[in-house]
Amino acid sequence: MTHKQQKERAQERRNTLFFAPMAVLAVLLVALPLIYVLGMSLTANDGSGFTLANYKALLRADYLLVFANSLKLAFYTTAVSLLIGYPFGYCMARAPRGWKSLLMMLVIIPFWTSALVRIFGWKILLQGNGLINTVLKSLGLIDKSIKFLGSYGSVLLAMVYCMISFMILPCHSAVDKMDFTLVEASRDLGAKPWRAFLDVTLPLTLPGIMAGCVLVFVPSVGIFYLSDIMGGGLVLVGNLIRDQLLKVRDWHTGSAMSVLLVVLTAGIYLIYRRCGGDDLGVM
Amino acid sequence: MEEILLSIRNITKNFGEGNVLSGVSLDVRRGEFVTLLGASGCGKTTTLRIVSGLETPDEGEVILDGRDVTALAPEDRPVNTVFQSYALFPHMNVEKNVAYGLKVRGEDKKVIAARVKDMLELVQMSDYAKRMPAQLSGGQRQRIAIARALAPQPKLLLLDEPLGALDLQLRRQMQIELKRLQKKLGITFIYITHDQEEAINMSDRIAVMRGGRFEQLGTPEEIYDRPKTRYVAQFIGRSTILEGTVRCVGNETAVIENANGWFSVSAKDALLKTGQKAEVCVRTERMRASRTPLDVFGLPATVREVRYAGGSVEIFAAMKDGTEAVATSDQPLASAPKAGETVYLHWTIGQAAVIGGASYDA
């Protein structure tokens, strides 16, 4: 064995040493629970062994509708987040230094308080005798309080509010990393500002947009408590799973639903990677 | 017919930390190759960006082909730029990069295809049409950047240190190619560099910039042989600068004296007056060192170091008052003066330049 090979071996051993704890954590915290849920979903309620019955039980029109509801809400959340988050991230990246850090603070600070608390804050603002209605009334714009809470819009607002950071950060990072000389080159060659954006900025920041969309869409499919707090009355996948696990106490069907949700999520991620998406180390 | 294509007048630009440009004016003739030469931070890139429209001047105007374009956006000016970093669109292949300027102007597809083909032939990159920029070497990217900027047939091509990132061999080769291209197409070039050799080799005229002003504007010969300021004399080429007082002025020559002795310069261009202070620039390759005193004049100096400079020998010597001088000798290293020896510095009278071409008031 040459000296060089020995060195490489030693390096490999060191790498393994660094890797091991992370691998153990990943197995303990991610793989094992998932395998447990998977096993649960493939066994019968009465303990009689392997069965696909739990999955067959999901093939009900009302369940599928719930999945569709969740996907629809996640889609709208992603779309609205993108429409607001991309311009925000763009401006943040292009702003003068002082402004940049201020805007970054505005995005980061909400992370330090519980989402639940912040959503209750919105609820207070939006309720019948809340600040928004009061202001609108005193301005004479409306006579009667508007019933914000319970509307689809209020649920969407809460969803976007909680998720938008995950859109802003990758978009900001993509715009920040882009070489703006390219936009200047495009302008120099005769492109109007809007054209330069479409031809250069947009395609070059697309990886950030895609990452942002996945980061918002995937958790949005599973979140259900926001709809509950805002009184949306929507039945989402999350509600369904919670009810199965905690109310009906049918862990096996609940597990099957969870597995379906994980598969759906993984599918979205795979499509994203197939489309040339980066890994999501976007911060 | 001498026609002015571009005229920039009294351009001032301030980015909030003092003037980057203070009152720069320049006329560029059609078909001319003008170089802005200067150290980094002298305002040359800003000048170029103001011409391209990527920057707006605080004061002054840019006249292109008789039209005031000061307020026009870059896309509305018939001017294209070759950027220092090339700025090729990384998500488009070579062909699409070159076609871009024509495409955004809404040219016909057939016209675009033909023009792209011509451009790639012009820069000898026809075989690379489908490559992505990342698959090209630095020199190849450079060629594509030039082809892309030339494709929309600009009236004026701006080049911002286009060869800065290339190694010396490739740089020399590209200098020749660029110059050939410019002559062939008859396009007006404004070229930025901090490499004085490049500027001298390629330009019709050079503007030496310093601190947001033009220090001197002239042909390479004028800049090299008749520097107007000490800065220009020192920035371009290597030279020894001698200070002294004018003792007498004849028809042909003037005599200048300082602590080291006296020497002659040509009195033709210089409006020298007896009693004035003067600075004289003697280029290293024109300064001679003799072991014996000469009939004309010779400033005594002590040799400090002798260096072989490839083909010639450079003699570093110090004069009585400490002034460092560099002279060139064609003798072999073995027979050249040695360190510690006394030499007499001299030159052909017409080859020394009085800085400013005239008097220098102390």
Within-domain flag for B112:
yes
Q: Would you tell me the crossing angle of helices A152-177 and A115-126 to the nearest 10 degrees?
A: 130
Q: Report the CATH number at residue B333.
A: 2.40.50.140
Model pLDDT, residue A10:
83
| Cross-chain Cβ contact A190/B75 below 8 Å | yes
Model pLDDT, residue A248:
85
Partner residue opposite B101 with nearest CB, options A190, A192, A193: A190
User: Of B167, B162, B170, B161, nearest to B142 (Cα)?
Assistant: B162
Q: For residue B89, what are its two tokens?
A: 């669109």
| Cross-chain Cβ contact B75/A199 below 8 Å | no
Q: How far is A214 from chain B (nearest CA, A)?
A: 22
Q: How far is A272 from chain B (nearest CA, A)?
A: 19
Residues in A lying within 8 Å of B, measured between beta carbons = 179, 181-182, 184-193, 195, 199-200, 203-204
> Which site among A178, A181, A184, A188 would you substitute to test the B interface, given the most B Cβ atoms closer than 10 Å to its Cβ?
A188
Within-domain flag for B362:
no
Chain B residues whose beta carbon lies within 8 Å of the beta carbon of residue A193:
73
Q: How far is A223 from chain B (nearest CA, A)?
A: 36
Q: By the 8 A CB rule, do A238 and A257 touch?
A: no
pLDDT band at B357; cut points 50, 70, 90: low
Q: In 10 A of CB A30, how many CB atoms?
A: 10
Question: Same domain for B195 and B268?
Answer: no
Chain A residues whose beta carbon lies within 8 Å of the beta carbon of residue B79:
188
| Cross-chain Cβ contact B83/A185 below 8 Å | yes
Full residue range of the structural domain in which residue B117 is found: 4-230
State yes or no: pLDDT of B66 exceeds 80. yes
Domain limit, last residue, from B213, B230, B247:
B230
Within-domain flag for B64:
yes
Partner residue opposite B75 with nearest CB, options A179, A187, A200: A187
Q: What is the pLDDT of residues B146-182, one digit of tens each?
A: 999 999 999 999 999 998 888 888 889 889 989 999 9
Q: What is the pLDDT of residues B294-319, one digit of tens each?
A: 888 889 999 999 999 888 899 999 99
Question: Same domain for B202 and B283?
Answer: no
State yes or no: pLDDT of B362 exceeds 60. no
Question: Same domain for B45 and B194?
Answer: yes
DSSP assignments along B271-321, one per residue: ---TT-EEEEEEEGGG-EEESS--SS--EEEEEEEEEE-SSSEEEEEEETT
Q: Name residue, tokens 């107007």.
A: B228
| Cross-chain Cβ contact A199/B148 below 8 Å | no
User: Of A184, A192, A191, nearest to B84 (Cα)?
Assistant: A184
Question: Same domain for B261 and B185?
Answer: no
pTM of the model as a whole: 0.82
Model pLDDT, residue B361:
37
Question: Same domain for B253 and B221?
Answer: no
Q: Which residue has the higher pLDDT, B252 or B35?
A: B35
Q: How far lies B311's CA from each of A1, B197, B236, B317, in Å?
A: 52, 19, 21, 20
Model pLDDT, residue B198:
92
User: How far apart (Å, rounded) are the C-alpha atoms in residues A195 and B73?
Assistant: 14
Q: By the 8 A CB rule, do A159 and A73 touch?
A: yes
- In terms of Cβ atoms closer than 10 Å to its own Cβ (0-12, 13-18, 19+), residue B23 is middle
| Cross-chain Cβ contact A188/B75 below 8 Å | yes
Chain B residues whose beta carbon lies within 8 Å of the beta carbon of residue A199:
89, 100, 104
Q: Beta strands B299-308 and B59-64: pairing type?
A: unpaired
Domain limit, last residue, from B230, B261, B279:
B230
Buried b (16+ CB within 10 A) or exposed e, A159-173: bbbbbbbbbbbbbbb
Q: What is the pLDDT of residues B216-275, one digit of tens each?
A: 999 999 899 889 899 999 998 889 999 999 898 888 888 898 888 888 888 776 677 888
Partner residue opposite A188 with nearest CB, options B74, B88, B105: B74
Question: Same domain for B280 and B205?
Answer: no
Average pLDDT over residues B322-335: 88
Considering only the C-alpha atoms of chain B, give the largest distance between any 2 of them, rounded to a whole number of Å. 76
Q: By the 8 A CB rule, do B122 and B115 touch?
A: no
Question: Same domain for B37 and B176?
Answer: yes
- What amino acid occupies position B362? A
Q: What percent of chain B has pLDDT over 70?
A: 97
Residue B130's H or E segment, with its range, is none
Q: By the 8 A CB rule, do B303 and B343 touch?
A: yes
Question: Same domain for B136 and B251?
Answer: no
Domain limit, last residue, from B230, B253, B269:
B230
Question: Same domain for B26 and B112?
Answer: yes
Structural domains in chain B (count): 2
- CA dihedral A184→A186→A188→A194, nearest 10 degrees, is -90
Q: How far is B141 from chain A (nearest CA, A)?
A: 14
Q: What sections of chain A are H helices per DSSP?
A: 3-26, 32-41, 53-56, 61-94, 97-108, 115-126, 131-138, 152-177, 181-188, 193-196, 202-222, 225-229, 237-242, 251-274
Question: Same domain for B222 and B271?
Answer: no
Q: Report the CATH number at residue B104.
A: 3.40.50.300
Question: Same domain for B196 and B330?
Answer: no
| Cross-chain Cβ contact B101/A189 below 8 Å | yes
Q: What is the pLDDT of residues B176-220, one digit of tens each?
A: 989 999 999 999 999 999 989 899 999 999 999 999 999 999 999
Per-residue pLDDT of chain A (283 residues; tens, 9 = 90+): 577 788 888 888 888 888 888 888 888 888 899 999 999 899 887 777 888 888 888 888 888 899 899 999 999 999 999 999 999 999 999 999 889 989 999 888 887 888 888 888 888 898 888 888 889 888 888 888 888 888 899 999 999 999 999 999 999 999 999 999 999 999 999 999 999 999 999 999 999 999 999 999 999 998 888 888 888 778 888 888 888 888 888 888 889 999 999 998 889 888 888 887 766 654 3
- The SS3 of residue B69 is coil
- What amino acid occupies position B69? V
Contacts with B330 (C-beta within 8 Å, 6 or more apart), sequence order:
B312, B313
| Cross-chain Cβ contact A189/B152 below 8 Å | yes
Partner residue opposite A195 with nearest CB, options B104, B148, B149: B104
User: How far apart (Å, rounded) are the C-alpha atoms in residues A113 and A118?
Assistant: 7
Q: What structural domains does chain A harbor?
A: 15-274 (1.10.3720.10)
Q: How far is B97 from chain A (nearest CA, A)?
A: 10
Question: Same domain for B166 and B264?
Answer: no
State yes or no: pLDDT of B358 exceeds 70. no
Q: How far is B132 from chain A (nearest CA, A)?
A: 14
Q: For residue A255, what are its two tokens?
A: 């597990």
Least confident among A247-251, B57-61, B323-327: A247-251
Q: In 10 A of CB B259, how many CB atoms?
A: 11
- In terms of Cβ atoms closer than 10 Å to its own Cβ (0-12, 13-18, 19+), residue A278 is middle
User: How far apart (Å, rounded) are the C-alpha atoms in residues B115 and B120?
Assistant: 9
pLDDT band at B9; cut points 50, 70, 90: very high
User: How far apart (Å, rounded) are the C-alpha atoms in residues A131 and A125?
Assistant: 5
Q: By the 8 A CB rule, do B285 and B315 touch?
A: no
Length of chain B: 362
- What amino acid occupies position A185? A
Q: For residue A28, what are its two tokens?
A: 């303990």
